[in-house]
Copies of this chain bind each other. A is one copy, B any other.
């Protein structure tokens, strides 16, 4: 994972974009920002997201160091996901995205009204 892209690790925007790229990363991080979750809980929170995809995205976030994966060696298995320190710091970005997203949605709606 280390040392692969020219601007990765140089430009904060390129770096962030690369990490966020996954289709569900933001939503996953948002859910984990509230509290630690088990795999199954995450899955239930994101019904549209298939198991295999969720696994991939979590692995990706783990490799990037945003997410902790804690395996409990027991039967039935139990795996908990939580944010690392640097992952928690991402919450500020999530907050601003949330705020902007709301504004944007309002903006779209009012535009639709005046159109029709």
Chain A interface (Cβ within 8 Å of chain B)? 2, 6-7, 9-17, 19-21, 23-27, 30, 48, 65, 86, 89-90, 92-105, 107-109, 111-112
- Tell me how many chains of this kind the complex includes: 2
Contacts A92-B100, A93-B93 given; does A105 touch B15 at CB 8 Å: yes
Are B105 and A100 in contact, with the CB atoms below 8 A? Answer: no
**Least CB distance, A89 to chain B, in whole angstroms:** 6
Known contacts A16-B26, A97-B93; A108 and B21 CB within 8 A of each other: no
Residue in A65, A92, A97, A111 whose Cβ sees the most chain B Cβ within 10 Å: A97
Question: Is the CB–CB distance between A107 and B12 below 8 Å?
Answer: no
Min distance, Cβ A82 to any Cβ of chain B, angstroms: 17
Q: Which residues of B contact A93 (CB under 8 A)?
A: 93, 96-97, 100
